[in-house]
Structure 1
Amino acid sequence: MEYPVPLALAAPVQAPPQGPGWVAEWKIDGHRQAMWRTEETVKLHSRAGHTVTSVWMDLALAGMQLAPGTVLDGEACVYVGDKIDFSAAQSRAASTPARARELADRFPASYVAFDLLAHPTLGDLRTRPWSERRARLVELVEPLGPPIQAVPATEDRDEAELWFEALAGTGVEGLVWKRKNGRYEGGKRAWRKHRHVDTVDCEVVGYTGPPNRPKHVAVRLPDGRVVLSQALTGPLAAQIARHLPDASVGGTARTSSRDTYTTVGHHPVVEVAAGTTRHAVVTVLRLR
């Protein structure tokens, strides 16, 4: 298995998938990343394939408990009080390594593992069914305890419905549904995500303000309109800024409502709250 590995994706749905053979897992509001335990160390990479170990060193150190040859897929998250706080995870992801160490002292990170891509003795498990990967994941992770833990999962639809209703507002965004006999398909949307807030992925076609601290991003909505987002939060602006200086072509263009923005040549993808797009009021939630 080559580093970085393509991660499996989930397609948004308005309701749980019907029919037998589906299982539900909590969808944690954090930062997606794979955890690799090599012979010498632990490496972490994002969904986009960027190495992010330096800002999640507390998780990398915890991962040293895993046997070499283990590769996990999961979500890095940060608890503030008794809730998972996405803004805290976002601040960590956008920080420098020195700042990340300070943040880790105040708000240590947790790693919620939801899949096992490679096993220390069995090797690559991606072609094995979810049920086998899940059993092996629990075997490896349960003895460790926090900050690395396996995501809760259930085949009971009544329990899944209770989770969906009861966990809103706790940092659990909803549920991810997976086929019990499904293989791990990196780069494909074989899973289903049922969220409390519907979202869509949009291309960033430009920005306003300086490239090192954008105020808004111009995004292309699914219906083809180009609109400016609401003001970006500081951590999100810093994270998106990393993709702007090299991408900028220095030109200008106008949105569908005639607002001016600076164009970019490469189009990063951001996740926006779908409920905010009807009247072109776009809230960016995160960089994909």
Structure 2
Amino acid sequence: MSPRATGALRPPVKPALAEPVATLPRGEGLAYEPKFDGHRMLIFKIDGGAVLQARSGRIVTSAFPELAQAALALPDDTVVDGEVVVWSGGRVDFAAVQRRAAATAARAGTLARRMPASYAAFDLLGEGGEDLRSAPYERRRQRLTALLEPLGPPLQPVPMTTDPELAATWFETLPAAGIEGLVVKHLGRPYRPGARDWRKLRHTDVHDAAVTGFTGPPARPVALVLVLPDDDSPVVSSPLPPALRPRAGQLLAGRTAEHPEGVPRTAMAIGIGEVPYRAVEPGLVAEVERGTTRHSVVTVHRIRDDLINQV
């Protein structure tokens, strides 16, 4: 085994983040990318193997065996940032990718055959042991496309343009394919882990979110615990409307999942902090509206019983 290259990155690495904006940014030196409605993930190629890290830092390699296999074609000591997506009927299927992310190692292979994942790469943090995070985005993008384009699916660079008019066209037309908006970056800026240097323009603040648990009594849950697009850390919704609580109880019945170690799970509730919740099996999706930041209140509009067990 060769010695570790100087500057080689190892997980966990904090990903760069984006600040929501209400209008399309314009100006010199800006780049625009479609924002996929998927599961944020960093891919590490280390010592001949692949390690997949979720946004939270959790290692999810076993959940996406086909992406781990594809990553073996990358040079050692290379780190790519991007979004895992699952396509269904010509659209990005967020519920399906969350089902994949929650799969046990025993189920991952079966789900990979039924709903194969793709990786929409949008940044290159390191290559061959060289830490590229201080390099300008324009240079990182050039190296990303040179690295991935010869490989082909399922690892592919996202489209990018510096033309704001083309970006505006993408913003209006791509929602039909399940693309939720745009990410805007400065060509000359570095990659800053954990910082909100990028901008994101969403087409709507209403999204599908994976239901992973609930608080309150099973028959009339007080709130749902959700995993939102582009994140894997569960959050607690605002209190459910009284009329929705019995229906939520009906749909959650029989789905309770026990924690393997018997330790209560917790999720972030805005204004309260970490609270315990009861977990449920994957397969339930809620239509939610969220505010302008990751920790804003998340309001549940409805539970999409039309999608139960469709993934």
Give the TM-score band, short-chain normalised.
0.7 to 0.9
Percent identical among aligned pairs is 41
The offset of 1:2, in angstroms, is 3.4
Match of residue 227 from structure 1: 239
Structure 1 unaligned spans of 5+: 220-224, 250-254, 256-261, 266-270
Q: Check the 8 A contact 2:289/2:298 in 1, yes or no.
A: no
The structural deviation recorded for 1:215 is 8.2
Alignment match of 2:84 (pick from 72, 76, 85): 76
Paired residue for 1:268? none
AA aligned to 1:54 is S
Change beyond 3 A, Cα 1:283–1:137: farther
Moved over 6 A (4+): none
Give the match for residue 246 of structure 1: 264
Taking the aligned partners of 2:196 and 2:206, their CA distance within structure 1 comes to 15
Tell whether 2:162 aligns with 1:146: no
Structure 1 counterpart of 2:132, from 125, 131, 141 = 125
Count of residue pairs the alignment pairs up: 254
- Contact 1:273–1:284 under 8 Å retained in 2: no
Cα distance, 1:170–1:190 mapped onto 2, change above 3 Å? same
**What is the CA RMSD across the aligned residues, in angstroms?**
3.8
CA–CA distance in structure 1, aligned partners of residues 147 and 297 of structure 2? 45
Corresponding residue for 1:35?
43
Confirm or deny: 8 A CA contact 2:223 2:238 kept in the other structure.
Answer: no
Counterpart in 2 of 1:103?
A: 111
Question: Do the aligned residues in 1 keep the contact of 2:86 with 2:115 (CA within 8 Å)?
Answer: yes
Structure 2 gaps, min length 5? 1-8, 227-236, 278-286, 305-311
C-alpha displacement at 1:81, in angstroms?
A: 2.6
TM-score (norm 2): 0.71
Equivalent position SS for 1:228? coil
Q: Select the residue among 94, 114, 117 that pairs with 2:102.
A: 94
In the TM superposition, what is the alpha-carbon distance from 1:216 to its structure 2 partner?
3.7
Give how far 1:84 is off. 1.3
| Residue 207 of structure 1 pairs with residue 207 of structure 2 | no
Change (3 A) 1:248 1:92: closer
Per-residue deviation, 1:284: 9.2
Conservation of the 8 A alpha-carbon contact between 2:289 and 2:299: no
Distance apart, 1:279 and its partner CA: 11
Moved more, 35-44 or 98-107: 98-107
Q: 1:177: how far off?
A: 0.4
TM-score of the two chains, using structure 1 as the length reference: 0.76
Matched, 1:54 2:79: no
The secondary structure found in structure 2 opposite 1:133 is: helix
Aligned to 2:187: 180
Q: Which residue of 2 aligns with 1:264?
A: 276
CA deviation after TM superposition for structure 1 residue 248, in Å = 5.4
- Give the superposition deviation at 1:107: 1.5
Which of 142, 155, 165 is 1:135 aligned to? 142
How far is 1:199 from its partner? Answer: 6.5
AA at the equivalent of 1:227: P
Q: Would the alpha carbon gap of residues 187 and 77 (structure 1) be closer, same or farther in structure 2, given more than 3 Å must change? A: same
